[in-house]
Structure formats: C-alpha cells, structure tokens
Structure 1
Amino acid sequence: MIAAAAENNALGKDGDLVWHLPDDFKRFKKLTTGHHIIMGRKTFESFPKPLPNRTHIVITRNRDYTKEGCIVVHNLEDALKIAEEDTQPFIIGGGEIYKLALNASEKIELTRVHDTFEADAFFPEIDLSKWELMNEEFHEIDERHSVSFTYLTYVKKTAS
C-alpha cells in the first residue's frame, strides 16, 4: 500500500487531494514506476490520464465499465491475482480499497501529513499490534510544501 493521509486519516475530498506535496509526488512516482497499481474507479478517474510506466488495475462494481489504459476487475482478489507476478504491486486508493486491502497487504508506505483536513475519503486506522514501524523520515515546511509530513514505512508483523 502507498498513501498520503492527514493526522485525522483524511485522504481527499470530492475526488481530489486536499494538499500539494511535490516531494511526495516524486516519491510516489519513484516507488510505483514499473509496478502494478491497484485502485478503485474513483481514484483512477481522478487522474487526468493513466500514469506512465505502470500497469493500472481498476476495481469497480460496474460490470460495464471499460477504460483505455487499464485492466478492469470487480474485486480485490482478481486484482491481486493479475498483479501476482509483480514483486511489489501497490494499492493506491481510495479509502474503500485501502480498507479492503489492509489485511492482504504486507507493507504500508504512508506519508503522514501533519495537519487535519475536511475530507470524504479516509485511510483506515493502522493497528500497531499488527504493524511495525520500520522507517520514518520527517520533512519540514519549506517554500514548496505548506505543511510538514513524515514518510512512514510499516511492515506487517509475523505471527509468532
């Protein structure tokens, strides 16, 4: 999984992000390029066009949905099956898809945006009894970023 979520787990509002973090966009591009990206229909439709150098898998309940530049499936299991040859496929949203995929995920690359926002899509709570924080990197406010944020990498704990 890869996501950017505010302190209140806000992801976005009206099909768009509620912040602009250029360094986070660069990191997203670096991590996801060359991989399968799995998303819901609304997330896919929020892009002006398919993202280059990635295989887009779109999950939708609409059996008649087709879009050039993506593979359409109707459940998470089919999306994961298509991406199984990829060593690092990414779940990229939105809120419903993150919630569905949390148990199936092994790693979460989360950008924690240090503010709260009004939103209509939210990232699920991370249960720290099941996930271990492996890395964190803080980014201060600067001329290109109006809010501070921290890159957090979580890995699912193994049952012992």
Structure 2
Amino acid sequence: MKISMIVAYGKNWEIGLNNEMLWHISEDFKNFKTITSGHHILMGRKTFESIGKPLPNRTSLVLSNKGFKHEGVHTFNDIQEAFNFARASAEEELFIIGGANIYETLFPYVDKLYLSEVDFEGVADAFLNPIDFSTWDLSEEKSYDAILEHGKIKSPAWKFKVWVKKD
C-alpha cells in the first residue's frame, strides 16, 4: 500500500489557524476531492472536527488517544493499526490529510506528496515542517493564477506539485 500525504501550505509552511484553513481555493478543494475519492483518508481528531463529518466516497480513519468516536469513522490510537485496517480493506493508496502533528508523526512513512503551495504569508498557528526535497522526485507541477473579484483577491495564486520518494 502506498502512503501519500496531501496538504496545502503557505510561503512560511503555514497550514491553519484556530483549527481552520487559511484560504479558500475552490479548484484546490476539487483537486483534493478527485485525488482522495474512493480511498481511505487518515487524519487527527482536530482535523476531523474541523471538517465535521465523514467526507463522501472516502473511508475516514482518525488517530486519537482520547477515545474519540463518531458515526461513520474508524478510530485508532495506534498508527500501525490504522495502516493495517486500510491494508485489510485492500487500499492501494492511503492519504494522510492532517493536521500538523499527524503530518509530522507520519512523514517518515510517506511515499508520495501531493502539495499545494499557496501564495500566502500570514498569521497561523499550525505549520508543516519544512520538507527537504533532495530525497524526492518532482513528477507533476501545475500553476494557477490568483482569482480577483472586485479588485480583491478571492483566491490566491498557487502551484500543485506531486513528489515521489526516491528509491
């Protein structure tokens, strides 16, 4: 089973503030949905709570050591148990979707990165650890322009990149 990480982050590795995303980029949300649909998604409890419900057409796995329970969600307090559950369900690509602590803890297991680099600098309280790309190969890249509405930025510019771990 391939283990992938999907995340959007700003210029200073910002990913969130007060358990919320820092921007709204509808094209990035559509991209996330397309990539993760039909797969298992693994997240921390706070990330699940920020979403509020299991995402359609995905199997939600939540890591929590606080006895978290929610209808339609599989909860684990052990990383390997979550991985084994996905493997037992014949998952081919498990997606890690956040938050910051989960990304940091599970990064050593990751084989593939789906990264949205957002043209954003601002206040945040959740950050991605900087990634050393020397051990990764860039396999895909696409740039998106900012979307303006009434002279204001509705959606910042961003780049979508896919990186695969070198052998």
TM over 0.5: yes
Aligned twin of 2:161: 152
Inter-partner Cα distance in structure 2 for 1:120 and 1:90: 23
Query: Among 89, 112, 115, which residue is 1:110 paired with?
Result: 115
> Is the aligned partner of 1:33 residue 2:37?
yes
Answer yes or no: is the 8 Å Cα contact 1:108–1:155 preserved in 2. Answer: yes
Is contact 1:76–1:100 with CA below 8 Å preserved after alignment? no
Deviations 1:10-56 (A, max 9, x none): 11011100100000000000011110000000000001321101000
Q: Would you tell me which structure has more helix in proportion to its own residues?
A: 2
Q: Which residue of 2 aligns with 1:61?
A: 65
| Whole-angstrom CA distance in 1 between matches of 2:92 and 2:51 | 24
Identity %: 39
Q: What value does the CA root-mean-square deviation take over the aligned residues?
A: 1.2
Distance 1:125 1:65 in 2: 29
| Misfit runs of 4+, over 6 Å | none
Structure 1 residue runs without a partner (length 5+) = none
Pairing partner for 1:17 from 14, 17, 21: 21
Residues 76, 117 of structure 1: alpha-carbon distance in 2 compared, 3 angstrom cutoff: farther
Q: CA deviation at 1:129?
A: 2.0
Higher normalized strand content (fraction of residues): 2
Does 2:122 align with 1:130? no
Give the equivalent residue in structure 1 for 2:53. Answer: 49
Q: Distance in 1 between matches of 2:32 and 2:42?
A: 14
Deviation at 1:75, TM superposition (A): 2.4
Matched positions, count: 157
Gaps of 5+ in 2: none
- Show the counterpart of 2:103: 98
1:142 offset after TM fit, Å?
A: 1.7
Q: Deviations over 1:79-116 (max 9, x none)?
A: 11111221111000000111111110100000000121
Report the CA distance between 1:143 and its aligned residue.
Answer: 3.9
Q: Deviations over 1:42-75 (max 9, x none)?
A: 000001321101000000111x321111000012
TM-score of the superposed pair, with normalisation by structure 2: 0.90
Per the TM alignment, residue 124 of structure 1 is displaced from its structure 2 partner at its CA by 1.9
Q: Which whole-Å deviations, capped at 9, do the CAs of 1:103-152 have from their partners, x for residues lacking one? A: 10100000000121211111122112221222110000124743100001
